[in-house]
Every structure is written in C-alpha cells, then in structure tokens.
Structure 1
C-alpha cells in the first residue's frame, strides 16, 4: 500500500511540473531553449558559510534553485519565461501529492463528497500557490502570481497579491489534510457497519 501511494505521489509531482511547463509552452508558443541543473549542495554550502545570520541563510537556501528550464529572449541572455524547481515549493507539492494519493487510495472503497471537496479545494489552492514560473513581465522572479498574469490579470495587480501565497498554501494543506481525515473516518465507519 505504501509503495503504491508513493508511486502515485511521484507521478502527481511529475504531472504537476509537466502541466506547468506545458502551460508556459502553450502560452508563449515556444519550446524551452535551455535546461539547467544547479550545483545545489555547493550553493547551499556557500550560502551557509557566507551569510552571517542563520535565519537569513535558511530563507535564502530554501529559494536556491535545483533545476530551471525556459526560453531566452532573442538577442539577450535573460529568460523570457522559465520554470524553476526550488526546495520549499517542491516540498509543498510533495505534501499535496502524498495527501492526494492517500485520499485517492482511501476513497476507492467509498468516497465521501465532503472529504473529496475539501481535498480538491485544498490541493488546487496549494498547487496554485506553489507554482514557480518566471516571466520577464513579472520581474522574472519564479512565483505563483505569474500564472495569474499569464491568464490575463494585470501584472502589477498579480504582483500585489504575491505575499498571500504562503498563507494560501498552508490553508490548502490544512483543507487537504482535513479531507483525508474525513475520508479515514468514513472508511472506519463503513468498516464497523
């Protein structure tokens, strides 16, 4: 059972990043022209030794990229758009994928509408705010608000709501967890009946 849940979670993680990449390719009508794996461990070592404050070092380290792919602007060396994988967002997506895989496994016997609604809403909220797309219009910083700008929201308005991302991610994970708990209780009740 645990191996199946882990396999489904890994597939969900791959599907999530695949959909982000596909969305960017479709939106900008251009395939990526670069892909880069970063020397993450070496970069972390440099951050930890070169940053006087441990708190600052930790915050910087969490945003240190693992991988990036995207499309560069013609005649420039900057990315027009990019998809970046960073540890803190990857951890959030891994949590969403694992909880969803658990919920799906539990719901195969009998799915409860309330549990499914909580899990669905929580996963959408957390997945949206864990996106790490970059676009030159939005200062090229990998962020969830790039999706909003890509969908047509005025870039300054999208950037103005960026700080709401972490609370939305946490609230989404709480909703998703509550959905799993409700499904577990429903399954126990069905087993006792």
Structure 2
C-alpha cells in the first residue's frame, strides 16, 4: 500500500497542471451540460438570470446561525447564479425551470475532474491491457456518473421548484413521485461514486508499484 501511495503522489506531482485542467473542465462543462439539457428538454431558451451576493450571504449565515454545526449545511446550499425560464402568464411570473449554480457543487465537480484525470493518468502509467483498461474506464464512468448525477442543481416547477438531483430523473421520464422518493439516496450514491474512483486509483497505483517491484527484483539478484 505504501508503494501505491508513492505512485499516487508521484503522478499527482508530475501532472498537477493537467489535473487542475481536468478539474476546471468538469466544473464548467457540468454547468453547460445541465443548461443544455434544460433547453433541449423544454425547447425554450432561458429568459432571466439572477446573480446573488454569495460572499455576503455566507457572512450573514455565519453571523446569524447560533450552532456551528448547522453552518456548513446551510452555506453548502447557497446559490451564486440562477439561470432559467420565467413564465409571466401568472402576475409577476413564476420560474418554470432553472439552473442553479452553487459553489459547493462546483467544488465537488472540480474534485471529480481531478479524480477522473488521476485515474486516466494512472492508466497511462500502468499501460493496462485492453480488458483491464476497458474495466477501468467502465468503473471511472460509473463513479463519475453517480457523482455528476447526484450533484445536479436543476429545478423544475413540477418538482416543487427546488434544485435537486432527482429533477434530472423526472425530466428523463421517471414519475415525479418516484423521483422525489429517491432523493434521500443522493448522498449514498455520491459517496459510492467517490468510493469507486478512489478504489480504482488505489488499485491502478498498486498494480503499477507491484509491476515496478517485479521488474526491479533481478537487479538485486
């Protein structure tokens, strides 16, 4: 295990710039993909955007929340930007659908990008056989899919207009009641996705360190 950790640290140090690019790419493209999905699903362009004073709101939460244990959960749900479609047929208007850009979710997507990039780098270092590479890619895709799905921040008036990952399920055709019933599984699926990616990275690093040890044995004979 020590050898695997050394491999992980070495790859991260050698390719940290590329890993940062992976992180930023996932962070930006995830928001673009969700907005595109909303536009395609509802066949309408957004007609409003709202920018929130996220730093000021966070400062207000810190000042006004008595329990320190409550602060992280509240801050994690604070919005930075809202982009959506407003229906003005009902007085001042009602938001039919929207994309909510939430800084805490951006951080999650950034970390996801780094992990995916790390797994890709380890696959290159390991020079896996085609079956192993295919399995590794499948695990990477599954883990990334679980994390991306459970960190979606789309809202739809049919789903109580609350940004949640299950809105994506409802948009794809799953019943609204069934989608909302699955909402509590989100954290478990999210942790499961991260667990898969971390386990894959450790496994690839272990294979690489084991191969290096085997190749080095004749030199000590």
TM-score, structure 1 normalization: 0.92
The question of 1:90 aligning with 2:111 is answered no
What SS does structure 2 have at the residue aligned with 1:152? coil
Alpha-carbon shift at residue 191 of structure 1 (Å): 4.0
Q: Select which of 158, 169, 176 maps to 1:155.
A: 176
Counterpart Cα distance in 2 of 1:190 and 1:73: 61
Counterpart Cα distance in 2 of 1:9 and 1:50: 33
Number of the residue aligned with 1:131 = 152
Count of matched residue pairs? 193
Counterpart Cα distance in 2 of 1:184 and 1:78: 51
Counterpart Cα distance in 2 of 1:15 and 1:177: 22
Counterpart Cα distance in 1 of 2:94 and 2:70: 26
Counterpart Cα distance in 2 of 1:77 and 1:71: 10
Alpha-carbon shift at residue 190 of structure 1 (Å): 4.2
CA deviations on 1:145-168 (whole Å, 9 max, x unpaired) are: 000000011111111111110111
- 1:1-193 residue pairs with structure 2 within 5 A? 1-75=15-89, 76-109=92-125, 110-111=127-128, 112-113=132-133, 114-192=135-213, 193=215
- Unaligned runs of 5+ residues in structure 2 are 1-14, 216-221
Alpha-carbon shift at residue 138 of structure 1 (Å): 0.4
Counterpart Cα distance in 2 of 1:68 and 1:190: 50
Q: CA RMSD in A?
A: 1.7
Alpha-carbon shift at residue 118 of structure 1 (Å): 2.4
Counterpart Cα distance in 2 of 1:8 and 1:87: 17
Shifted more, 128-137 versus 69-78: the winner is: 69-78
Structure with higher Rg: it is 2
- Unaligned runs of 5+ residues in structure 1 are none
Counterpart Cα distance in 2 of 1:107 and 1:50: 48
Alpha-carbon shift at residue 105 of structure 1 (Å): 1.9
